[in-house]
Amino acid sequence: MTTISREEVNRMRWAARRGMLELDLVLEPFVAQRYAQLDASNRQRFTELMRCEDQDLYAWFMRKASPDDQELKGIVDVILEFTHTAPADR
């Protein structure tokens, strides 16, 4: 497993702060607890995800829609699985 720099994790924490409570409650814990454990391809997908519009992210994380791009759908699914796992089991 590749070691991820603290700087990279901090950059993603900053990118995950969206200013919309619902998104912050999903993204910030994920970055804090799981980002460093992602493989390189999923870290790249997460970076791409952070370039998406907030209204799209909201729809995806509230399961009102799903990304058309299968790569983005994959990382959204990883984040949703994390989010819907009890904190004690993460």
Q: Is residue 1 part of a domain?
A: no
Using CA atoms, how far apart are residues 12 and 87, in angstroms rounded to an integer? 21
pLDDT higher than threshold 70 for residue 2: no
Structural domain of 66? 6-89
Structure token pair of residue 84: 């819907």
Q: What is the pTM of this model?
A: 0.91
**Total number of domains in the chain:** 1
Residues 28-58 have pLDDT tens digits of 999 999 999 999 999 999 999 999 999 999 9
**Residue 74 confidence class, pLDDT cut points 50, 70, 90:** very high
In whole angstroms, what separates CA 54 from the centre of its chain?
A: 12
Residue 60 lies in a domain: yes
Half-sphere exposure of 30 (CA within 13 A, CB side): 26
**Domain CATH number, residue 74:** 1.10.150.250
